[in-house]
Amino acid sequence: MSGNIELLNTTLAAAKAADRAALIAYLPAGFPTVDGGIEAVKAVVAGGADVVEVGLPHSDPVLDGPVIQTADDIALRGGVRIADVMRTVREAYEATGVPILVMTYWNPIDRYGVERFTAELAEAGGAGCILPDLPVQESALWREHADKHGLATVFVVAPSSQDARLATITAAGSGFVYAASLMGVTGTRASVGAQAQELVGRTRATTDLPVCVGLGVSNAAQAAEVAQFADGVIVGSAFVKAMLDAPDEAAGLAAVRSLAGELAEGVRKR
């Protein structure tokens, strides 16, 4: 079975054709439980998310701040496994029909086996992977299997990336480019900053892939700001925080659906 990279491509193209940015939501698998995590994905899509990133919980998530680390810890203590991540992708995709990617560090894939991981992700209906710590020069094996199974390979670029490095990264990637808005870890911030706009401009000079901005976006006003210059707005910590702050799971699902609605309105304000 082939993965859903084409669904990802057409979804992002449709947002562009509608003269708006896409809303990309991140939620960890297994948080607050495996079933609860699947319901959370359904909730953000019902609220207006165009694409969802399902996080593969990791004990040392170097890109992630304390909010997502807390959620990962809850998921890991709950016994989440890669099989649960695949189940989350499958059930979320079947229920929503939107592109579902997995965001993961490289070590779990390396241990699981690249061929096995890509085959299972494609079979589950996944659209691809975001790989924040896989160096492009070491990615040939992954890309070979991802291409074979119809999966996108999304690399992360940062404000520190030099132009030549950007060109190398974007030439190897597919689906979209994840532009980290600032140097640092995930988390909500008062301002997304001018660094993001400059990075998007420099990245666009090297590729025709959509450039989507993450790290720091937490409300509709920030989403609208980023939507002025990015093809997609990626929001993670704000959704996870809404779940963490809720008194129970039902309230958490209502909160993330509501937040997705506000953010979806924000990305349409061009």
Q: Return the pLDDT at 64.
A: 67
pLDDT confidence tier of residue 153, bands split at 50, 70 and 90:
very high
What would the mean pLDDT of 65-90 be, rounded to a whole number? 92
Of 39, 53, 91, 231, catalytic: 53
Residue type, 134: L
Distance of alpha carbon 55 from alpha carbon 46, whole angstroms: 19
Task: Give the three-state DSSP class for 95.
Answer: helix
Strand pairing class (211-214; 232-235)? parallel
Per-residue pLDDT at 111 exceeds 60: yes
pTM of the full structure: 0.94
Judge whether 39 counts as a catalytic residue: no
Rg (CA), the chain: 17
Distance of alpha carbon 115 from alpha carbon 110, whole angstroms: 10
Residue type, 116: R
pLDDT confidence tier of residue 70, bands split at 50, 70 and 90:
confident
| H helices present in 181-219, as ranges | 194-204
Q: Return the pLDDT at 193.
A: 62
Q: Determine what percent of the chain is predicted with pLDDT higher than 90.
A: 82
Task: Give the three-state DSSP class for 193.
Answer: coil
Per-residue pLDDT at 160 exceeds 70: yes
Of 6, 35, 39, 64, catalytic: 64
- pLDDT per residue over 221-253, tens digit each? 999 999 999 999 999 999 999 999 999 999 999
Q: Where is mean pLDDT largest: 35-39, 178-182, 185-189, 220-224?
A: 35-39
Judge whether 64 counts as a catalytic residue: yes
What are the backbone dihedrals phi and psi of residue 5, each rounded to the nearest 5 degrees, phi first? -60, -35
pLDDT confidence tier of residue 191, bands split at 50, 70 and 90:
low
In the block, which residue shows the tokens 């061929």?
115
Q: Return the pLDDT at 270.
A: 64
Q: Return the pLDDT at 23.
A: 98
Q: Please provide the average confidence, as pLDDT, over all residues in the chain.
A: 92
Per-residue pLDDT at 208 exceeds 90: yes
What would the mean pLDDT of 33-54 be, rounded to a whole number? 98
